[in-house]
Amino acid sequence: MTTFFRAIYWGLKSFFRHFGLSFITILIITFSLFSLTTLLFLNIISDILLKNLEGKIDINIYLKDNLTENEIKDFKNSLANEPGVKEIIYISPEEALERFKEKHKKDEVILKSLEILDKNPLGGLIVLRARSLQDYSFLLNRVSDPKYEKFIEEKDFQEYEKIVLTIKNISSKIRYSTLLIVGIFTLISIVAIFNSIRLAIYKRDEEIKIMRLIGATASFARTPFIVESVFYGLFAWLINLLIFFIIFKFGFQRILNFLEIEENLFFSYQKEIIYSFVGVLIFSIFLTILSSWLAVRKYIKI
Amino acid sequence: MVEQTLRKRQVVGSRPTTGFMIKFVNVSKFYPPDTFALKDINLYVKGGEFVSIVGQSGAGKTTFIKLLIAEEKPTSGKIIIGDWDISNIKPKEIPYLRRQIGVVFQDFKLLKEKNVYENVAFGLEVIGAKGRVIKEVVPQVLKIVGLEKKMFKFPQELSAGEAQRVSIARALVHKPKILAADEPTGNVDLINAREIIDLFKKINELGTTVILVTHNREIVNYLKTRVIILEQGQIISDQRKGKYLL
């Protein structure tokens, strides 16, 4: 245990002694962590966007105005038995008329025209929601079945599906590009950490030679360098955290406004946000340990 | 600390011995393409002995030390320290061997950014000694080498003789069974050289086996202990109370 704590102490001392030398390496690791955090946040944002849009999709089925209540009930029941249906909402002609009036309350011409008519011109409306995005095309096909023709005046399916697919497509492309950037920065980070540790080993070459001669084990000689590199990772992570804190504080509201996402909705993903930062920290430590381990294995032989 | 060191020794299979401390049996060291640094060396050193190994440059003296601390492996033959055959020692066992052998070099090998106390403490730190033990042992060892009043000086503020005594203190601090010195007086004047040799004698009297590699005739003749003369990698003389004859 004494040896372990001593190795940590020496690693920490060496980190602060060579801070100037390590700074560029820390910046490179920060780029890698920043791109990774961005990738994780993109996942959260695209998830929110898709859920938002999926919630807005529905199929409106306008019913013929000569249907009896029983016929409407039968039609509703048979639709409810169709696979993939999540929710059916029936809006009666009276309710539809009320909604119509409410919607056009500032348009006197429409309101007067309604008064002239002695009966409700609107039929009932059935709003159909599917379990998943893929179920919509299936349901559209189903309601086009000739057996339903006698009930349906008109169908209205806004093409949200295409929008969702486009968003999915774009976000997957952005994700792949970010992943590529993460990969490139990770590789550069590995090389940078490897080189920094190599330089630190050269600077302490005499000390390592003496250590060897007076009975230090290989792990004792190597551990301080690995500890030093872990501090690179920790510093880079703290800088990354600070950058995101600044973004959250000053620019994030604008991004959310632009994407039409409510701030509360975004922060309801608090658990995922915390996990993202913890994940990035674990990645950073793993990256630094791996790179420095490669360097010490190569350059410190006992 | 000593108990801890002994425990480590037992882990790797060695026990303190009252018989021969060092055995070289038909040891040769060959460097390609055509150099024999040592050839068929048979050498037995008892525990507590003081042995001077002398010879001209290229005689194989430094190779002998390198083989002793397993910095090199013999091309053929057996090297036994205590009853531990180190001829084919595994790399992970080497540190535990080196904790049994204190080594002193001609160029002192001190760390410039550490003061005297820290340089000596370094010898204990790397083997995992506790801070409390270090605080207790280092001043004692510095007293033995006569540097207790200079423990906060840096190597560049010391004379060559003093620097060599720091190096000896560091080699002694973990109480090794063997002290091997490779030309320890090479960089110091005669008066300081005598003081260093007197220190080795004192250490030897306390029970440590001392192997002194030198080409300093006056020192060897002053010591009047066992002298082994090497020439072109072979032992040409081994005398109990010998003199440097070359």
**A56-73 pLDDT tens trace:** 778 888 888 788 888 888
Inter-chain touch B125–A217, beta carbons under 8 Å: no
Q: In this complex, is the C-beta atom of B103 within 8 Å of any C-beta atom belonging to chain A?
A: yes
pLDDT tops 60 at residue B17? no
The pLDDT assigned to B12 comes to 34
Q: In this complex, is the C-beta atom of B129 within 8 Å of any C-beta atom belonging to chain A?
A: yes
The pLDDT assigned to A60 comes to 82
d(CA A260, CA B3): 71
The pLDDT assigned to B27 comes to 95
More confident residue, B244 or A221: A221
Task: Write down the ipTM of this complex.
Answer: 0.79
In B185-244, the residues whose Cβ lies within 8 Å of chain A are: none
Query: Rounded to two decimals, what is the model's pTM?
Result: 0.71
- Name the nearest CA neighbour of B233 among B26, B29, B67: B29
Residue A239 pLDDT grade (very low, low, confident, very high; cuts 50, 70, 90):
very high
Residue A100 pLDDT grade (very low, low, confident, very high; cuts 50, 70, 90):
confident
**Chain B positions in Cβ-Cβ contact with residue A221 (cut-off 8 Å):** 126
Q: What percent of chain A shows pLDDT beyond 70?
A: 98
Give the Å distances, CA to CA, from B186 to A92, B139, B148, B203, B214. 110, 27, 24, 20, 8
The lowest-confidence range among A165-169, A222-226, B95-99 is A165-169
In this complex, which of A2, A6, A213 lies closest to B103 when CB atoms are compared?
Answer: A213
pLDDT tops 60 at residue B11? no
Inter-chain touch B127–A6, beta carbons under 8 Å: no
b/e burial code for range A55-87 (CB count within 10 A of at least 16 → b): eebbbebbbeeebeeeebeebbeebeebebbee
Average confidence score pLDDT of chain A:
85
d(CA A59, CA B39): 97
The pLDDT assigned to B242 comes to 66
pLDDT tops 80 at residue A55? no
In this complex, which of B69, B94, B99 lies closest to A302 when CB atoms are compared?
Answer: B94
Q: Smallest CA–CA separation between B35 and chain A, in Å?
A: 25
pLDDT tops 90 at residue A87? no
d(CA A144, CA A123): 19
CA pseudo-torsion sign B9, B13, B19, B23 = negative
Residue B10 pLDDT grade (very low, low, confident, very high; cuts 50, 70, 90):
very low
Q: Concatenated DSSP letters for chain A?
A: -HHHHHHHHHHHHHHHHTHHHHHHHHHHHHHHHHHHHHHHHHHHHHHHHHHHHHHH--EEEEEPTT--HHHHHHHHHHHHTSTTEEEEEEE-HHHHHHHHHHHTTT-HHHHHHHHHSSS-----EEEEEESSTTHHHHHHHHHTSGGGTTTEEEEEE-THHHHHHHHHHHHHHHHHHHHHHHHHHHHHHHHHHHHHHHHHHHHTHHHHHHHHHTT--HHHHHHHHHHHHHHHHHHHHHHHHHHHHHIIIIIHHHHHHHTT--HHHHHTTHHHHHHHHHHHHHHHHHHHHHHHHHHHHHH---
d(CA B142, CA A164): 79
A96-100, A286-290, B83-87 — which one is most confidently predicted on average? A286-290
The pLDDT assigned to A159 comes to 62
Residue B245 pLDDT grade (very low, low, confident, very high; cuts 50, 70, 90):
low
The pLDDT assigned to A134 comes to 73
Tokens describing residue A283: 């990645």
The pLDDT assigned to B2 comes to 36
Residue A263 pLDDT grade (very low, low, confident, very high; cuts 50, 70, 90):
confident
